[in-house]
């Protein structure tokens, strides 16, 4: 299997797992109890955003990147922006509240930042494969070539 296809599948799994974690974590407001039992609106704004925006978009990006569709790569870039914003929001909240920083809150955003930076770099490094021009990703020819190479390798 082509290295680009393997990496695409890897990122697809990351989008899928992040989407599932966003939805499940949001339903329990990240350990503070079920989202429907919360009384403070500020305590549930981010979980509602995770439930309604981040989770579903991550799942759609996972499907699109797995199928190597142009909209999947574009949606993946957008979702990485959401991951970076969410991770920055967590660190701002931790700094605002002061030390000590709980490790269960301090470590997970590192993954969001890493993923939010690594995926766009990978897409930009592979522009010749994705043929990114004028903000559009034209994949049909590249996907056909990759699939033909895969078929020949089998």
Q: What is the pLDDT of residues 49-101, one digit of tens each?
A: 889 999 999 999 999 999 888 788 889 999 999 999 999 988 898 888 887 87
Q: What is the pLDDT of residue 46?
A: 82
> Is 31 in contact with 38 (CB distance < 8 Å)?
no
**Digit-coded pLDDT (tens) for 18-41:** 999 999 988 987 777 788 887 877
Q: What percent of the chain has pLDDT over 70?
A: 86
Model confidence at 135: pLDDT above 50: no
Closest CA to 91 of 116, 60, 62: 116
Q: What is the pLDDT of residue 129?
A: 65
Other beta carbons within 10 Å of 119? 22
Mean pLDDT for the stretch of residues 7-22: 93
Mean pLDDT for the stretch of residues 103-121: 89
Could you tell me the pLDDT band of residue 145, with boundaries at 50, 70 and 90? confident
- C-alpha to C-alpha distances, 153 to 2, 6, 10, 149, 150, nearest whole angstrom: 9, 14, 20, 6, 5
Model confidence at 118: pLDDT above 90: yes
Q: What is the pLDDT of residue 54?
A: 94
Q: In terms of pTM, does the model score above 0.75?
A: yes
Mean pLDDT for the stretch of residues 39-47: 79
């Amino acid at each position: 299997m082509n290295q680009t296809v393997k990496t695409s599948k890897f990122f697809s799994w990351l989008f899928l797992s992040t989407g599932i974690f966003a939805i499940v974590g949001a339903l329990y407001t990240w350990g503070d109890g079920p989202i429907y039992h919360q009384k403070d609106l500020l305590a549930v704004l981010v979980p509602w955003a995770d439930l309604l925006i981040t989770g579903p978009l991550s799942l759609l990006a996972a499907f699109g990147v797995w199928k190597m569709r142009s909209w999947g790569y574009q949606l993946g870039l957008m979702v990485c922006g959401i991951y970076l914003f969410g991770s920055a929001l967590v660190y701002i909240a931790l700094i605002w509240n002061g030390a000590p920083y709980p490790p269960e809150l301090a470590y997970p955003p590192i993954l969001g930042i890493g993923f939010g930076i690594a995926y766009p770099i990978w897409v930009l490094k592979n522009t010749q494969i994705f043929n990114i021009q004028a903000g559009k990703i034209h994949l049909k020819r590249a996907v056909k070539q990759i699939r033909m190479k895969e078929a020949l390798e089998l």
